[in-house]
Chain A
């Protein structure tokens, strides 16, 4: 669908005037602090995205400068950056074919190996940020700030990035995205360090492997909190309501309850769950990306290649066979085929089950999954 330029915000129109070699294809205004134009760069002959963002007139425009410093396959590159006026700038970057991770995870279920690979890529990009002399912490790693291009994950949105103090290794805490904020980023002595980025990476890993965290903040309140919220809504202003919701979420995060591991699919191996749990601990979590990556790397061997394909659970190429757990006539049962075969046959040696968890347990025992 052709975009009518006159209907775009004035800043986007100015960018298009300044950038005649850019041919707009898509306009996105869902971001909190600006717009994104996606289209074709006719000189580079590449699909590019232009991010337009607002800032204070005295603010240093740090975002493109920070990205330009880092040369890593999992950190977004910047092709060009310009100031539009005193409080608005834009920069040009490669367009991600599959959009952000949040929408990607809404559209697709990932197989174990793709989830593992994406988490490793994320950690690899984080290592490039943390590396001396960059010494940067992102402070706002969440699915909406990560882009997916083919099967590659790119760290984007550097608006919250800060350099850590060389003597303490910490940066001031960020007030971004409360759901992904680590426990140490709350309170009067809030701070942020490299392990805080790894906490957020752990939460993203939990989502990549199929865990669920509702983006609706009210979903995180228990019954008691919801009932108290109704009283506050009736008697106080919006600010008090927001403060109460934030305090409930802070409490949940401090108790380490933001990720509910029971929402992970039953097929996620125990050793992966153990790593993810360690990554989001309040204390004694991973402090360096390499420790996190080493643990992930060391469990890679013999990871079963499960995928939830919506209607059934599929295990690919396990000792030369593919397995399918599917639902029919109010019961779950297993099917199998040779890995290079075409049609699945019912596996009667694995009995029928009332739940997918039971069917999985039976199959697991039969084929020797850990």
Chain B
């Protein structure tokens, strides 16, 4: 199974792609880890973003995309308007199923099956994207 973990934060999306299972997986396509949309996007900007997302799913035979779940209230994982917009774009246009993952679910998955520290990216945001993809693995 190939899972794309996408952390939506601000105008950007940080992406980690994992293939395999929680106990045995590899990180694929490490060069593709960042996708941005301008702060005030035009229609062409959104089209280019969607084309890239679709090509990413097609090139890597992605089975599922796992996004960080946002809240409408003032919870710990509340996001701003930009990530809200990006989440809507991905939900509306993704060619593969999208799963919104609650931070609690990610924490539980990491507690249950240890993450592969050798593969998990060191940077905070990519690390979180890795955790999302890890949670989506069978």
Say yes or no: B55 contacts A301, CB within 8 Å.
no
Give the interface of B toward A (CB within 8 A). Answer: 29, 31-32, 34-36, 38-39, 44-45, 47-49, 51-52, 54-56, 58-61
**Shortest CB distance A110–B (Å):** 13
**Shortest CB distance B61–A (Å):** 5
Say yes or no: B55 contacts A124, CB within 8 Å.
yes
Interface contacts beyond A120-B52, A290-B56, A296-B48: sample of 6 additional A-B pairs, CB < 8 Å, sorted by A: A116-B44, A117-B47, A123-B51, A130-B58, A132-B58, A300-B45
Say yes or no: A131 contacts B58, CB within 8 Å.
yes
**Shortest CB distance A273–B (Å):** 18
Can you sample 7 A-B contacts with CB below 8 Å?
A: A116-B48, A117-B48, A124-B51, A124-B54, A130-B58, A301-B39, A301-B45
Q: Which residues of B contact A131 (CB under 8 A)?
A: 58-59
**Shortest CB distance A193–B (Å):** 13
**Shortest CB distance B131–A (Å):** 21
Interface of A is mostly: helix
In the complex, residue of chain A having the shortest beta-carbon distance to the beta carbon of B33: A294
**Shortest CB distance A359–B (Å):** 28
**Shortest CB distance A118–B (Å):** 11
Q: How many residue pairs, one in A and one in B, have C-beta atoms under 8 Å apart?
A: 76
Distance in angstroms between the alpha carbons of A116 and B49 in the assembled complex: 12
Contact residue range for chain A?
20 to 34
Top-7 shortest CB links A-B: A301-B38, A127-B55, A290-B56, A131-B58, A293-B52, A290-B55, A124-B51
Say yes or no: B32 contacts A294, CB within 8 Å.
yes
Say yes or no: B56 contacts A294, CB within 8 Å.
yes
Q: Which residues of A contact B44 (CB under 8 A)?
A: 113, 116-117, 300
Distance in angstroms between the alpha carbons of A113 and B42 in the assembled complex: 11
Distance in angstroms between the alpha carbons of A124 and B44 in the assembled complex: 14
- For A285-321 the 0/1 string (1 means CB < 8 A from B) is 0001111011011101110000000000000000000
In the complex, residue of chain B having the shortest beta-carbon distance to the beta carbon of A131: B58
Tell yes or no: A128 within 8 A of B by CB: yes
**Shortest CB distance A209–B (Å):** 15
Tell yes or no: A121 within 8 A of B by CB: yes
Q: Which residues of B contact A130 (CB under 8 A)?
A: 58-59
Distance in angstroms between the alpha carbons of A293 and B53 in the assembled complex: 9
In the complex, residue of chain A having the shortest beta-carbon distance to the beta carbon of B44: A117
Say yes or no: B54 contacts A127, CB within 8 Å.
yes
Say yes or no: B61 contacts A291, CB within 8 Å.
no
Known: A293-B51, A294-B52. Is A288-B60 also a contact (CB below 8 A)?
yes
**Shortest CB distance B31–A (Å):** 5
